[in-house]
Amino acid sequence: MGCVTQDSLPYLPLISKLTALRGVGPAYATIFSEAGFETLRDLLWALPYRYVDRGSLLKISELDRWHQPGGDREIVTVMGTLKDLRQSTTRVQRMNLTEALLEDGSGTLRLIWFNQPYLARALKVGDRILAFGPLALGRHGLEMRGPACEVMGRGNGPEEAWVQRYLPLYRKLGPITGRIRSRFIQEALAKVHVTESWLPIELGRGLPDQLSALKMLHQPPDDTDARDLEARSTPAHVRLATEELFAFALGICIRRAGRLKRRGSVVPTSPELREKLRALLPFHLTGAQRRAFKEIVEDLTSGRVMHRLLQGDVGSGKTLVAFLAMAMVAETGGQAALLVPTEVLARQHAVTFSRLLGDEAANTQLLLGPMKAAEKREALARIASGEARYIIGTHAIFQETVSFKNLQLVVVDEQHRFGVKQREALKDKGQDPHWLVMSATPIPRSLALAVFGDLEQSVLDELPPGRQPIDTKLLDPDDAERAWDAVERELAKGHQAYVVSPAIDPMDEAKVPLRDIQAMEALLRARFPETALEVVHGRLKADEMALRMKRFVAGEARILLATTVIEVGVDVSNATVMVVDHAERFGLSQLHQLRGRVGRGSARSHFLMLSGTETQRLRALVETQDGFRIAQKDLELRGPGEFFGTRQSGIPQFQVADLLRDRKLLSQCREVAEGVLASGLSEGQQAWLRQEQVRLRLAEIS
């Protein structure tokens, strides 16, 4: 294959360093690198954040006609020269105000911004700019409020050429402005050479090849549909998304195949064991619990390493299933560990387990980070000797100093991605225990298959009998008294109450005034002077926290005021009311988790959210108690990244694909990937896959 262009310039492979471009020296390369751009591929796959359609540009003189009273929200685009730029402070509310006049030969338009003082430095009189924003009728006539701007030319400098219909815009990276970046992209597109694609024919059918797709997205042809471009649904987008999803799917399939080959300990079963386990149970299992446990038993006896995700709505009884699995191992000579995210939860589970085990409670062992030295030494000794068979703890379980006698099962509670590294560490120590992950948040089934496709899955889709729906209300902060009345009523019946506060400080990172936990404490003490109250938050020392929680669990404290430290797992069935302050500060799934802290007993429970904003979103919680539906809604509103908490979850960072939107495409990719894997990967495919995996951060996925 020829490597030389007509004018004898060598083609560059996509994996070339950015310094291969004219104008990218070491300084720019460093800036690019800090933003995660190393190669031409990185540069080219970062698509424009927006396209301006020249056909949609308006003359300033036309705007009057365009602007509809009440239609303030419509975004319009104008281009012109900045004539005036000034800053002031508004008299009311003392906000910083930046004002500019834009002229385009047909007229002038006032642009205004609130609290964006840096704009006065970024823009200069004489700049030729594109401005996008909503029009509104101000005191001086029509104006554009808070527009986004793009500098197209400065002073006597060259004006950006705009020949084609669509102008792609790129985010600036430090001193590398969008315009400069655009020039590098043009150069890269002219020089780059894409050898082969590893996409199987059945996935690439009807789609442009990779280089054409990149060209179409950086230099959209004039006949491209503007809506498709904006919706990221052109064939070129589909091509790139498919590449990403196929690499992802292949990675998952490889991992799964590797795991299925691993031999796991065979946990013996017998009728006696079954009888023994049954005797430990305080109640009849729900149908869903029975199904899930059966699936786990099949795994544990299969001779392969189990790697299963147990999903279930809050309150569906995941702990009991975990306990049974652990008992199966522990009662047949093995050790089982339960890993939880917080010490509060660890202590609580230890109590639950001791209660379930009755006479044999001594077989349990708590292991926490900040234990007293002597206590810890004893714990480690009991774990090493095998005397401790149910080990419950935080990540301290996986510290170097811990050595197990015969660890056969690890259960990870409430933190679905936690433990990947730990498992690798165990494997390095020659141990490969069975693994059961319990998810704190129900994950919509379709997405779970996509993201956790390498795990087997069990779902608890049934609540234990006798649960009543939780009375859920959304109250304006002005109506807070209704919430306190509800708390008072429940306390009078002998029940307990939670109050959740979003912040420890009155000004948190969002820089909006909030009622912080101290203010809330003062309020509660004034409103309920006779009632014992405990306050817990993340800044307390662990033992102090444990002490306060214990007083609430024991019923000595009647109100627990807390930050979201109580979000997961806390189980006090006498608590029947929860009030959440500033509910808008929480994600829907998070609120649903919080709500799950009440309604754990037979008494009717109440969940009251105080919020003056975003009530539309919060209404979803009033409307349904189905965690899967709430999760779906949350996912749609926030996107998969936020939903899973990207960093911890290790879900891949796609540049073009969208897990939610491209679900079908992903399952198609998975099918094809299975086939490709069955017939073996070529060397080229393997090299490509290695690169893609680094880029998608697939290595971080278990």
For the CB of residue 316, give the shortest distance to ligand ADP in the complex, in Å. 4
Three-class DSSP category at 10: strand
Nearer to ligand ADP, 317 or 453 (CB): 317
290 binds ligand ADP (CB under 6 A): no
Rounded CA separation 609/149 (Å): 39
320 binds ligand ADP (CB under 6 A): yes
Q: Which of 41, 232, 318, 515 binds ligand ADP (CB under 6 A)?
A: 318
Number of residues located near ligand ADP, criterion CB under 6 A: 18
Q: Select from ligand ADP, Mg ion, none the partner in contact with residue 627, using the beta carbon and a kind-dependent cut-off of 5 to 8 Å.
A: none
Phi, psi torsion values for 59, nearest 5 degrees: -80, 145
Nearer to ligand ADP, 39 or 458 (CB): 458
Rounded CA separation 376/410 (Å): 20
Stretch that binds Mg ion, among 183-191, 347-355, 538-546, 562-570 (CB under 5 A): 562-570
Rounded CA separation 23/176 (Å): 11
Footprint of ligand ADP on 435-464 (CB under 6 A) = 464
**Residues 142-178, buried b or exposed e (16+ Cβ, 10 A)?**
bbbeebebbbbebeeeeebeeeebbbbbbeebeebbb
For the CB of residue 343, give the shortest distance to Mg ion in the complex, in Å. 15
Closest residue to Mg ion: CB criterion: 569
DSSP string covering 294-345 = HHHHHHHTSSB--EEEEEE-TTS-HHHHHHHHHHHHHTTT-EEEEE-SSHHH
Q: Select from ligand ADP, Mg ion, none the partner in contact with residue 444, using the beta carbon and a kind-dependent cut-off of 5 to 8 Å.
A: none
- Report CA torsion sign: 545, 546, 549, 550: negative
Q: Which of 80, 204, 317, 453 binds ligand ADP (CB under 6 A)?
A: 317
Footprint of ligand ADP on 214-243 (CB under 6 A) = none
Joined together, the tokens standing for residue 306 give: 């189990």
**DSSP structure class, residue 106:** S
For the CB of residue 286, give the shortest distance to Mg ion in the complex, in Å. 15
Q: Give which of 410, 414, 415 is closest to 429, Cα–Cα.
A: 410
Q: Give which of 320, 318, 327, 305 is closest to 416, Cα–Cα.
A: 318
Joined together, the tokens standing for residue 479 give: 């109506």
For the CB of residue 265, give the shortest distance to ligand ADP in the complex, in Å. 26
DSSP string covering 78-99 = EEEEEEEEEEEE-SSTT-EEEE
Stretch that binds ligand ADP, among 74-82, 204-212, 241-249, 309-317 (CB under 6 A): 309-317
Q: Distances from the Cα of 57 to the Cαs of 144, 165, 529, in angstroms? A: 14, 11, 64
Let me know if 523 is exposed, middle or buried by CB neighbors in 10 A (0-12, 13-18, 19+): middle
Q: Which of 85, 226, 285, 480 binds ligand ADP (CB under 6 A)?
A: 285
For the CB of residue 154, give the shortest distance to ligand ADP in the complex, in Å. 59
For the CB of residue 587, give the shortest distance to ligand ADP in the complex, in Å. 17
For the CB of residue 589, give the shortest distance to ligand ADP in the complex, in Å. 13
341 binds ligand ADP (CB under 6 A): no
Q: Select from ligand ADP, Mg ion, none the partner in contact with residue 647, using the beta carbon and a kind-dependent cut-off of 5 to 8 Å.
A: none
590 binds ligand ADP (CB under 6 A): no
Q: Select from Mg ion, ligand ADP, none the partner in contact with residue 285, using the beta carbon and a kind-dependent cut-off of 5 to 8 Å.
A: ligand ADP
Q: What is the x/- site pattern for ligand ADP, positions 471-510, by CB under 6 A?
A: ----------------------------------------
Q: Select from ligand ADP, Mg ion, none the partner in contact with residue 315, using the beta carbon and a kind-dependent cut-off of 5 to 8 Å.
A: ligand ADP
341 binds Mg ion (CB under 5 A): no
CB within 8 Å of 636: residues ≥ 6 apart: 660
User: Do residues 326 and 336 lie in contact, with contact meaning Cβ atoms separated by under 8 Å?
Assistant: yes
Joined together, the tokens standing for residue 103 give: 């002229």
Stretch that binds Mg ion, among 222-230, 470-478, 523-531, 566-574 (CB under 5 A): 566-574
Q: Give which of 432, 567, 217, 678 is closest to 208, Cα–Cα.
A: 217
Footprint of ligand ADP on 550-579 (CB under 6 A) = 571, 573
Q: Select from Mg ion, ligand ADP, none the partner in contact with residue 600, using the beta carbon and a kind-dependent cut-off of 5 to 8 Å.
A: ligand ADP
Nearer to ligand ADP, 201 or 554 (CB): 554
Footprint of Mg ion on 567-586 (CB under 5 A) = 569
Stretch that binds ligand ADP, among 192-200, 283-291, 297-305, 397-405 (CB under 6 A): 283-291
Q: Select from Mg ion, ligand ADP, none the partner in contact with residue 320, using the beta carbon and a kind-dependent cut-off of 5 to 8 Å.
A: ligand ADP
Three-class DSSP category at 354: helix
Three-class DSSP category at 475: strand
Nearer to ligand ADP, 323 or 644 (CB): 323
For the CB of residue 590, give the shortest distance to ligand ADP in the complex, in Å. 14
Q: Would you tell me how many other CB atoms lie within 10 Å of the CB of residue 511? A: 7
User: Do residues 580 and 586 lie in contact, with contact meaning Cβ atoms separated by under 8 Å?
Assistant: yes
Q: Which of 72, 268, 283, 476 binds ligand ADP (CB under 6 A)?
A: 283
Angle at 555 between CA 553 and CA 558, to 5 degrees: 105
Backbone φ/ψ region at 617: left (φ over 0), alpha (ψ -120 to 50), beta = alpha
Rounded CA separation 208/241 (Å): 12
Q: Select from Mg ion, ligand ADP, none the partner in contact with residue 312, using the beta carbon and a kind-dependent cut-off of 5 to 8 Å.
A: ligand ADP
Q: Which of 204, 208, 220, 312 binds ligand ADP (CB under 6 A)?
A: 312
Nearer to ligand ADP, 134 or 464 (CB): 464
The residue ranges that bind ligand ADP (CB under 6 A) are 283-286, 289, 312, 314-320, 464, 571, 573, 596, 600
